Copies of this chain bind each other. A is one copy, B any other.
Amino acid sequence: MANNNIKNESITRQEDDFAKWYTDVCLKADLMDYSSVKGFIIYKPYGYAIWEQIQNFLDKRFKQTGHENVYMPMVIPESLFNKEKEHVEGFAPETLICTIGGKNDLEDRLIVRPTSEVLFSELYSKIIKSYRDLPKLYNQWCSVVRWEKTTRPFLRGSEFLWQEGHTMHETEIEARTEALQMLEIYDECGRDLLAIPFSKGQKTEKEKFAGAEETYSIEALMPDGKALQAGTTHYFGQGFAKAFNVQYQGRDGKLAYPHQTSWGVSTRLLGAVIMVHGDDNGLVLPPNVAPIQIVVVPVAQQKPGVIPAARELGERLKKLGYRVKVDESDRTPGFKFAEWEMKGVPLRIEIGPRDIENGVAVLAKRNDGEKIIIKQDELEEKVEVLLKTIHSEMYEKAHRYLLDHMSEVNSLEELKDTVDNKGGYAKMMWCGERACEDKIKEATTATSRCMPFNQIGFGDTCPICGKKAKKLVLFAKAY
């Protein structure tokens, strides 16, 4: 059997410098590259292919739940942008502004969309006239620009790819249900596609989206103990509807304002996948999102019969719909192993002359290095089971890590110790006052991530101010 113990020395080890490990993997697994526009990255084929898998998964679920895709202008007139006050205040500091079009100065400057609430609200003001026009369930796949000072691949960039859903409903309850339903779909995406357990909950007033009445989020926990906000859904109430004069004739014949939501996930999810699952050999991809699920590596491929045997295994799996690569390139198996490990391919199949003689093949799992010798005629059956096993193992590992890093705290000191030393979430009973959140942030840099839906409390007092506790909150340092 070939030596697969060549460790990839071209990336920093996680324990030496996690941040450096992360950017090393982004570059060496060929997910992205930097461009000459500061803060704007290039999504290279392998990175973009992961995003395509996420798009396919979500787009199907969006359509199943009655949503329709549209495409809105990439720029927003400044005059329109200024209509919803809180929203403007939230985004204005980080906008990219066009001032010249066709060699002429623009009278109304154009803001490259940081998000499209105002454009959707304006459209809805034109097309919603009656309760019969509701709900309107639109979604858009596009990129948005937010001018950031410090950027990191996939996690924070001046331009990122995302989807933004924008919906209008007759009643408050319908709109809230929509916001919660979409959070559920994001959660499914974590569970079934990305093998990431999310913590779901509602944002505090301090942390909610600019202009929203309520923001819900999915939060993922990274191995360095920091939380990553991986997606949000918002209930807007009637704020934008009033600012943009979206009115419809209700069932009672009277004019009314509809209730609005928006929701989005972005290429940030790639950052979550990289960090949650990766190791010192590079990327580790869950099978359902991997652009290449199985790589077949011929061993001693110059020997007669080896390449045909590798191809045959590959073809059998392709026929079943798996995404398979047969690596016939002119490199040693060790180099191939290292490359496909770096790229996180979930399952490797090795086949050499002796395997052919014995009618077997070797299956190697990327997530834990386990190797299994199978009979060739069991291939389809074993691969199906193994890919499912890999997914479950990856999810379970991430879930165990999450549970192990969820600590109840009863004082600011305990909270500080948790986020500084142990890492992960400090679960705290909270009075509901912003002052306490501010105090925690000042003392620890940790922020409230969400008020989890699961509100099984463990005390009556906010340990920061001593007042009566109203909510269970997860605090953590965050990306």
Please give the residue numbers on chain A whose beta carbons come within 8 Å of chain B beta carbons, in ascending order.
33, 35-37, 40-45, 48-49, 51-52, 68-77, 80, 92-103, 110, 112, 119, 122-123, 126-127, 138, 142-143, 145, 147-149, 158-159, 161
Q: Can you list 28 residue pairs at the A/B interface with Cβ under 8 Å?
A: A33-B123, A33-B126, A33-B127, A35-B122, A36-B77, A36-B80, A37-B73, A37-B110, A40-B74, A40-B75, A42-B70, A43-B70, A43-B72, A44-B70, A45-B70, A48-B69, A48-B71, A49-B68, A49-B69, A74-B145, A74-B159, A75-B112, A95-B101, A96-B98, A98-B98, A101-B147, A102-B147, A102-B149
Contact B98 A69, beta carbon cutoff 8 Å:
no
Contacts of A36 in B (CB 8 A): 77, 80, 122
Contact, CB under 8 Å: B77 / A123:
no
A142 to B48, CA, bound (A): 13
Inter-subunit contact A42/B93 (CB<8 Å): no
* CB atoms of A75 and B123 under 8 A apart: no
B123–A73 CB distance below 8 A? no
User: Nearest residue in B to A112 (C-beta to C-beta)?
Assistant: B98
Are B143 and A74 in touch, CB under 8 angstroms?
A: yes
**CA of A75 to CA of B45, assembled, Å:** 19
Instruction: Name the CB-closest residue of B to A330.
Output: B132
Q: Are B102 and A99 in contact (CB under 8 A)?
A: no
Q: Are B99 and A161 in contact (CB under 8 A)?
A: no
- Are A40 and B96 in contact, with the CB atoms below 8 A? no
The residue among A93, A101, A119, A145 with the most chain B CB atoms within 10 A of its own CB is A101
Does the CB pair B112–A103 fall under 8 Å? no
A162 to chain B, nearest CB (A): 12
Residues of B within 8 A of A75 (CB): 37, 40, 96, 112, 145, 159
Given contacts A43-B71, A138-B45, A143-B74, is CB(A35)–CB(B123) below 8 Å? yes
- A77 CA to B38 CA, complexed, in Å: 10
The docked-state distance in angstroms from the alpha carbon of A49 to that of B71 is 10
CB pair B74–A74 under 8 Å, yes or no, is yes
Please provide the 7 A-B residue pairs with the shortest distance between their CB atoms, ordered closest to farther: A45-B68, A40-B73, A102-B147, A43-B71, A97-B100, A101-B147, A37-B73
Q: How far is the CB of A160 from chain B (nearest CB, A)?
A: 10
A253 to chain B, nearest CB (A): 18
Least CB distance from A156 to B in Å reads 13
CB pair A98–B101 under 8 Å, yes or no, is: no
Given contacts A97-B99, A102-B93, contact A73 B35 (CB under 8 A): yes
Bound-complex Cα distance A126 to B51 (A): 23
CB within 8 Å for A69 and B52 given contacts A40-B75, A80-B36: yes
Measured between beta carbons, the chain B residues less than 8 angstroms from A42 are 70-73, 119, 123
Residues of B within 8 A of A145 (CB): 74-75
In the complex, besides A33-B123, A94-B102, 20 extra interface pairs with C-beta distance below 8 angstroms are: A35-B73, A35-B122, A36-B77, A42-B72, A42-B73, A42-B119, A43-B70, A45-B68, A45-B70, A48-B69, A49-B68, A74-B145, A74-B159, A75-B159, A93-B103, A96-B98, A98-B98, A98-B112, A99-B99, A102-B147
Docked Cα-Cα span, A103 to B75, in Å, equals 17
**For A142, what are the chain B residues with a Cβ–Cβ distance below 8 Å?**
143
Which chain B residue lies CB-closest to A40? Answer: B73
Which residue on chain B has the smallest CB distance to residue A157? B73
Bound together, the chains give a CA A96 to CA B97 distance in angstroms of 10
Q: Do B96 and A100 have beta carbons less than 8 Å apart?
A: yes
What residues of chain B lie closer than 8 Å to A147, measured between beta carbons?
101-102
A71 touches B143 (CB 8 A): yes
Q: Shortest CB–CB separation between residue A266 and chain B, in angstroms? A: 12
When chains A and B are docked, how far (Å) is the Cα of A96 from the Cα of B99?
8
Cα of A89 to Cα of B43 in the assembled complex, Å? 28
- Is there an interface contact between B110 and A101, defined as CB atoms closer than 8 Å? no
The residue on B at minimum CB distance from A161 is B71
- Contact of A110 with B96 at beta-carbon distance under 8 Å, contacts A40-B75, A69-B45, A70-B42 already known: yes
The answer to whether residues A159 and B73 also contact, given A96-B98, A119-B35 and a CB cut-off of 8 A, is yes
Q: Which residues of B contact A149 (CB under 8 A)?
A: 102
B112 to A72, Cβ gap below 8 A? no
A70 & B48 in contact (Cβ 8 Å cutoff): yes
